[in-house]
Amino acid sequence: MLYPEISPHQSGWLPREDGHEIYWEEVGNPDGLPVIFLHGGPGAGISPNSRRFFDPEKYRVILFDQRGAGKSRPFGSLENNTTEHLIGDIEALRKERGIDRWLVFGGSWGSTLALAYGQACPERVTGFVLRGIFLGTTSEIKWFMEGMGRFFPEAERRFLDAAGFKDNPGYQPLLDRYADIFSGKDGEDAAVDAARVWSAYEATCCTLLPDDGLVEDFEGDQIALALAKLEHHYFVHRCFFEEDQLIKNVGRISHAPLVIVQGRYDVVCPPVSALALHKAWDGSELVIVDDAGHAASEPGTIRELVLATNRFDGKKFV
């Protein structure tokens, strides 16, 4: 269901006043409907398949690596890296590319950032296609650190071993211990090894059926180091939100159309968050994919995401 592989016809780095340089690329029809792709993680970065959820004849697709991720510079940096900074980067990119309003497409952490951006800049959004909803709440962070192991105990065992725990001590002691490791207190090699374990843990829990290729990708240096450090950073700071902030402020953007695509067996971001968003957003659509977990690469999820983008006419889903 993905569209054919496509290469960017424009790309570059957007310099920011605080020293970050944001890598961006553009594919598709320069005169098409504008859409911004927000990747997950934070820290995962974009990939060639990120470009393929959109009809290249219909859409003008803007993609970028968030601060510290992918080709953005400096790689893995936590300095000046908050949700507010990311929202500022999106707005700066919109202005730089000469776009007035755009559809916002994001999954997992990308759904979080999409909602936060929309609530900060509601006049710049034509609609949302969101997957694997994560609302940045304490309960969701706690689930990631404590709950996923109920379904993937072997992966959790490696996750705990890397932190030096025999049993799961709870999310806060785990966050504290990984903070020590990632800071280099145990040495640089230990920090790198722990980052690979953290990233592999998430990747293992992402799919309904085992996907060794996905786990291998997540363990690679280009993803693991940024993903683990940045996810941990955002978890420690509760995504820089007040509790339940995104649900409380839904009224700022609920005039826009929304399609939610959610895997039935999503262990990383369980469907309860998607249901909460759907209930709070009158007129939203919730599509449950019965044969999928969390990953955007699962066939049922790909199908529904592509169907959603195909239905959007610039103002609504038809």
Asked if residues 16 and 48 have their Cβ atoms less than 8 Å apart, the reply is no
The one catalytic residue among 20, 39, 232, 294: 294
Strands of 133-284, DSSP E: 258-263
Q: Please, which residues bridge with residue 130 across strands? A: 106, 260
Query: How far apart, in whole angstroms, are the C-alpha atoms of residue 96 and residue 85?
Result: 16
Q: Could you give the angle at the alpha carbon of 40 between the alpha carbons of 226 and 209, nearest 5°?
A: 100
The order of strands in the sheet holding 33-38 is 10-15, 21-28, 59-64, 33-38, 102-107, 125-131, 258-263, 285-289
* Distance set, CA 24 to CA 46, 63, 223, 233 (Å): 9, 6, 17, 23
Annotation marks residue 266 as catalytic = yes
Distance of CA 39 to the CA centre of its chain: 4
Element (H, E) at 173: helix 171-182
The one catalytic residue among 108, 199, 273, 284: 108
The one catalytic residue among 266, 273, 278, 284: 266
How many alpha carbons lie under 13 Å from residue 50 in its C-beta half-sphere?
A: 26
Q: Please, which residues bridge with residue 12 across strands? A: 24
Which residues carry out catalysis? 108, 266, 294
